Amino acid sequence: MGEDLTDKVMSAKEAVQKYIKPGTHIAFGGFTLLRRPNTIAREIVRQGVGDLYVTMNGGTYVEEMLAGAGLIKWLESTYIGLEGGMPVAYAIRQAIQNGEIELIEDYSNWSFALRTIAGKYGLPFMPCMTDMGSDLMTYDVFGKAGLRGKNAQGEWKHPGIPPHKYCVIDDPFDGWGLRPRTFKSGDDSCPNTTNLYEKYKERSTAYTGNEGVKVALVPPILPEVCVIHVQRVALDGTVRMEGLIGPDIDQTLCGRTLIVECERICSPDEIRTNPEHNQIPGAFVSAIVEQPFGAYPTCVPNYYDYDYEWFRNYTKVVNHKPKEVVKEYWLNYITDTKDDWDFLEKKVGWNKLWSLRTDPQYHYNPEIDRFGTGVK
């Protein structure tokens, strides 16, 4: 008997019911206004799955919606905002201030990306220098909450929370690999400036008490469920995403379960054309959810652009409003639709969606007024 290539295909409702439970540690892919997996996120709101431990790099619509609906318990993040609409996404800030989001742990975009590399390859850590000297090294919210390390039975207190936020060590190579450096043939032209410490006479003893170069080690990200939105997925689960990738490829391979929502499901034969453009093997994919325009109001390169007007309007509706108003907005916006087809037709409209379609010549839509300034 041949393998049934359709056994991974399911609706968003089925995927959420099967894989996402109260308290699930879930990592959402995409970045700010790019390829956010909004179909699964909206279905989580419809089903009211709460107490979530949400992890992401560059959060916008997904996290704002889940926070506004009161479904996030813990948040692990880098950037949170709405790209000019509000410096800090209002529902998230409000939920943190009111204690609905109990804990928030913060990393830089780069240290988060390095954590996804460690998770993908099963490494104990990755070296990082960018966060040293910042407050990110100082504030350890999960540690203060007593969630790090092992319990009396020798089990991890939480399988998604590492025993340390960072560990700093003395560079065992004594700065040998820092740039720019001098080669036998002459001085380095590399613009990297990790070697600037060589210009100073005083050597730091921060973190370890010893003079010399320090390196921060960051632990892997190990969520239960990862969710991404891509352009095409083959029936066997092979993934092809286009445009800016960000940490998505690495992050998707960090967790136990991978849900891929897509604009289109295609045959394996189609996606075998130019196989070097495929990024994720089908063996890693647990569920495939086909939903055209599922990333709305964020963009999907080569398919549709983001709807900046939605973000401006959302700001006008909720900014500085009581939490009850914000929650009512999100519940009314999402829960009176039965699925994303219904949502896209009732709440957005096909004329709006079609107006966002990209121009093949540019791979984006050059006719969109992106910042409300009249400049396209």
pLDDT digits (tens, 9 = 90+) for 222-238: 999 999 999 999 999 99
pLDDT digits (tens, 9 = 90+) for 279-338: 999 999 999 999 999 999 999 999 999 998 898 888 888 888 898 999 999 999 999 999
Residue 168 DSSP SS3: strand
Identify the weakest region by mean pLDDT among 91-105, 244-258, 358-372: 358-372
Q: State the alpha helices, DSSP H only, in 220-322.
A: 248-252, 268-271, 308-318
Span 348-360, average pLDDT: 94
Span 127-142, average pLDDT: 93
Assess whether pLDDT exceeds 70 at residue 373: no
Domain positions in the chain: 12-108+222-353, 126-218
pLDDT digits (tens, 9 = 90+) for 98-114: 999 999 999 999 999 99
pTM here is: 0.93
**Which residues have C-beta within 8 Å of that of residue 239, sequence separation ≥ 6?**
228, 230, 232, 233, 252, 260, 278, 279, 280, 282, 285
CA distances from residue 268 to 159, 195, 240, 307 in whole angstroms, order as listed? 35, 48, 11, 32
Span 257-274, average pLDDT: 94
Span 64-74, average pLDDT: 96
> 12-108+222-353: which CATH architecture?
3-Layer(aba) Sandwich (3.40)
Kindly report the average pLDDT of the chain as a whole number. 91
